[in-house]
Amino acid sequence: MSEKKLTKQERENASKALASQRSERSERPKRELVWRRASDIKEKSIEWIWKKHIARGKLVMIGGDPGLGKSQVALDVAARVTTGADWPDGAKGAGVGASVVILSAEDDADDTMVPRLDFMAADRAKVYVVNASRPVGENEKLSPVNLVADIDALRETIEKIGDVALVVIDPLSEYLGGVNTDKTGEVRVALAQLRMLAAEMKFAVLVIMHLNKSEQQSAIYRVSGSMAFMALMRKVYLVTPGLQDPASRLFMPIKANVGSLGDSRTFSIEGENGDKDTPRTRVVWGSSSNLDADSVFKTLLNRRLGGDGGEKLNDAKNTLRLILKDAPQLVAKVEEEMKVFGISSATYRRARFELGVVTEKVGKKGPKDPWMLRLPPPGEEGKKKFSK
């Protein structure tokens, strides 16, 4: 087959495009790579704040659903840093307090964070709460902190304080400006400067993240947004409800790029004088546990969806097959039809999971495009099963 020849106009356009690219490259400042020979690099030990858990110069994540105590665990860590106290697993603290910078978009400082820090016996003089950013000299022009645009301001603040060991960001997604948190490239670029700043100034970064709604996925895929968040973190922990006591929680490691993975640990939230409604609450740590996050999520989901299901579950599966047999359907439409057939939401969700029904977006896959459900490919149906 002969190749199609370009017209004169197409050749001229291509020539102009190449000339434009060369011109742009010539106008940009010449760049070079910064490198070192490995034999010239001196080895150094990891400088732990909480041994095996949180290290200076590293990014650490705590993920979990709302209301389980992620922020309180972060404050417990912050309080111990300010006093140099020992750690929940018996690891020795620094013995001398260091400063902590906190960026919190969800809890107010005066009626929530400060009462908690006080009840946790933190040295409040070493806690610096960042409220907003503004142009230098323009006190009235406050705006939310953006870790991309305000990274130099963060550097200057840490330099002024002088002994910062920890920066807490709760939640991280609120401090990334217009970054699309589902896009790996944008997330990596946005966090690159924070990561380099932490390494240079030797402070740890503890970020809070929420979970997505994909309950059937492995624990490591449950954090909202791009997998770049998970990849950039050196240690990742998840907070879940406990399996025995409704008031208990589990703090579970799911990723470790520095140090060992370690054990899970139980904890609960205690109010001053036993008052559950007081803002003065603290974390009470319990014993270590060998439970892993995947097993815990599976057990919790099984309980929530109500056991084996029996005849009702089979009816729900058959109904789903009937609704989806000809073509994919909108999620909302399927849910409505299942209600018409008298199938509970819990049984519907379990049937959907066990059938392996695929959830996907249509259109350009933007935030406003609808979600659809379709049956799995032949041979894939029914491979997923719950276990108690």
Domains in the chain, ordered, with CATH?
48-292 (3.40.50.300), 306-374 (1.10.10)
Residue 93: what pLDDT?
96
Question: Which has more confidence, 378 or 26?
Answer: 378
Residue 244 has pLDDT above 80, yes or no: no
pLDDT tens-digit profile of 271-328?
998 887 889 999 999 999 888 898 888 878 777 665 545 677 888 888 888 889 888 8
pTM for the model stands at 0.74
pLDDT, the chain, mean: 88
Structure-token match 């895929």, residue found: 221
* Cα gap 344→52, rounded to integer Å: 45
Amino acid in position 120: M
Sign of CA dihedral 275, 276, 282, 285: positive
Asked whether 57 and 199 are in contact (CB, 8 A), the reply is yes
- Looking at residue 213, its pLDDT comes to 82
Of 7-21, 76-90, 91-105, 212-226, give the lowest mean pLDDT range.
7-21
Determine the Cα angle at 16 with ends 11 and 18, to 5°: 95
**Band of pLDDT at residue 1, cut at 50, 70 and 90:** very low
Distance CA 234, CA 258 (A): 6
pLDDT top residue among 314 and 132 = 132
